């Protein structure tokens, strides 16, 4: 086990008043070393918590005086203190296998840990899930969880995961649902493998075997230039249209039988098929927003002035746990505070985005009727393939694009491509040849940024 460190302290919090400092290692809470931030959170929920700490070579014990249920006021350095349960599948479509060499080591970690599913919305296949895990999830009500289904046919699923346990691990999905745990599912569709009749059988299987599933997202395979799987390829237009048609047909069936749509197709499918996006109301509160489902509808509505679609969309799959470090969509971006509109002359504005984002933004920007605002689609040469989402833009591609742009303009960049101020390729904003303004990745924030004068 690796004891967590105090990464941040809330001013005036019980922990700060007790004398804890950033860098302290947390060895035990009330005499017991916690295995993860979930156990830690339960332990510190009591009044007057006893902490065993280590600072360098010095150990000390501190009693933190607090009320029961009052937050301790610290953020720890990691979410899992023992060992992250890594994935032992070898999925043909796994994007981690498609990453180029030389990136940050943490980006190559494949996790299949139900705790990270609960905390951050990571999808787990349940192939390493155990009876003890099940008992803990149920007793501590670790809900919601997020499960990669991909196919309900045991043989197809086992083949997709390249793991024989893939044929049987969905028994845990049934057990979790029977125990009242909220579970959201995902199907990554690989053309020629689990689309067509297999996808229809999967949706039928969900209705027959897992009707209590909260939602199921159907998302397309992402293929980079670094894939080594010859069978993995991008969807054609007709294949994407077929997926949209099938999902919408089953939405009607689910609504008729269960009273809710349950299944949703990713925005990328509508773009690939050249179909209009469904209205915001068709996404039932956007439960799979961060999975790329309903993002365009929420963005468009917020851009048009519905602030609820900027701040009312669930900001993450994760369950909030005091003390959990920022990670994934919880990680701090690098946001700037935009100045209020003034009477100064507007400078020309360039909106940086990915290939798919440009298709969503084009009619919105055109509707402004402003000659001083233009889109700048950034080609993703770093990953190549069919990768066109803004969240996978990297510093290298942005730097190349901005180098050809004029000085003195304003350049707006969505925060989705940053984590702790760093791009996936390790570059930072300071590495870009032009200053950029980082804007939250919602329509309300972009509209507000475009209305600001600078």
What are φ and ψ of residue 220, in 5° steps?
-80, 155
pTM of the model: 0.90
Q: Please check the confidence at residue 319 and state whether its pLDDT lies above 80.
A: no
Helices (H), 171-236: 171-178, 196-209
Compute the average pLDDT of residues 112-126: 92
Report, in angstroms and rounded to the nearest whole number, the Rg of the chain calculated over CA atoms. 23
Inter-residue contact 182 to 145 (CB < 8 Å): yes
Inter-residue contact 364 to 449 (CB < 8 Å): no
With a pLDDT cut of 90, the percent of the chain lying above it is 78
| Cα 366 to Cα 74, 130, 343, distances in angstroms | 46, 53, 23
Write down the domain spans for the chain: 6-76, 96-311, 331-451
| Whole-number average pLDDT of the chain | 91
Each residue's pLDDT tens digit, 275-309? 999 999 999 999 999 899 999 999 999 999 988 88
Each residue's pLDDT tens digit, 187-226? 999 999 999 999 999 999 999 999 999 999 999 999 999 9
Architecture of the domain defined by 6-76: Roll (2.30)
Which tokens is 249 given? Answer: 């047909």
Q: Residue 367, class by beta-carbon neighbours within 10 Å (0-12 exposed, 13-18 middle, 19+ buried)?
A: exposed
| Closest CA relative to residue 353, chosen from 392, 323, 403 | 392
Instruction: Determine the 3-state secondary structure of 321 from DSSP.
Output: coil
| Cα 131 to Cα 143, 179, 320, distances in angstroms | 17, 13, 25
Query: Domain 96-311: which CATH class?
Result: alpha beta
State how far the Cα of 198 lies from the Cα of 13, in Å rounded to an integer: 54
């Amino acid at each position: 086990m690796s004891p967590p460190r105090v990464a941040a302290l809330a001013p005036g919090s019980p922990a700060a008043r007790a004398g804890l400092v950033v860098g302290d290692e947390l060895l035990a809470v009330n005499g017991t070393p916690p295995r993860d931030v979930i156990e830690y959170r339960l332990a510190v929920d009591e009044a007057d918590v006893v902490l065993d700490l280590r600072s360098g070579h010095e150990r000390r014990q501190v009693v933190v005086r607090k009320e029961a249920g009052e937050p301790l006021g610290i953020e720890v350095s990691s979410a899992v203190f023992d060992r992250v349960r890594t994935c032992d599948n070898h999925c043909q479509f796994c994007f981690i296998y498609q990453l180029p060499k030389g990136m940050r080591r943490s980006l190559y970690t494949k996790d299949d840990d139900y705790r990270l599913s609960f905390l951050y919305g990571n999808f787990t296949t349940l192939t390493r899930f155990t009876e003890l895990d099940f008992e803990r999830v149920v007793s501590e009500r670790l809900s919601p969880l997020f499960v990669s289904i991909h196919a309900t046919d045991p043989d197809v699923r086992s083949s997709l995961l390249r793991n024989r346990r893939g044929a049987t691990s969905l028994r845990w999905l049934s057990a979790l649902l029977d125990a009242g745990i909220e579970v959201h599912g995902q199907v990554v569709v690989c053309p020629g493998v689990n689309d067509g009749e297999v996808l229809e059988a999967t949706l039928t299987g969900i209705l027959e075997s897992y009707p209590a599933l909260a939602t199921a997202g159907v998302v397309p395979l992402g293929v980079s230039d670094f894939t080594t799987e010859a069978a993995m390829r991008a969807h054609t237009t007709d294949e994407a249209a077929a997926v949209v048609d099938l999902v919408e047909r089953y939405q009607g069936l689910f609504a008729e039988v269960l009273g809710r749509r349950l299944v949703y197709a990713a925005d990328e499918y509508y773009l690939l098929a050249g179909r209009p996006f469904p209205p915001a109301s068709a996404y039932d509160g956007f439960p799979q927003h961060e999975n790329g489902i309903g993002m365009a509808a929420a963005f468009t509505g917020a851009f048009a002035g519905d602030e609820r679609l900027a701040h009312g969309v669930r900001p993450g799959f994760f369950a909030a746990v005091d003390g959990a470090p920022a990670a994934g969509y919880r990680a701090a971006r690098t946001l700037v505070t935009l100045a209020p509109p003034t009477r100064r002359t507007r400078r020309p504005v360039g909106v940086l985005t990915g290939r798919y984002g440009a298709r969503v933004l084009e009619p919105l920007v055109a509707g402004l009727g402003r000659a001083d605002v233009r889109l700048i689609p950034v080609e993703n040469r770093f990953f190549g393939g069919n990768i066109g989402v803004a969240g996978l833009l990297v510093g290298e591609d942005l730097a190349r694009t901005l180098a050809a742009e004029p000085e003195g303009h304003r350049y707006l960049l969505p925060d989705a491509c940053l984590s702790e101020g760093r791009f996936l390729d390790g570059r930072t904003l300071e590495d870009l040849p032009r200053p950029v303004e980082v804007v939250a990745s919602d329509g309300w924030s972009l509209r507000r940024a475009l209305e600001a004068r600078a």
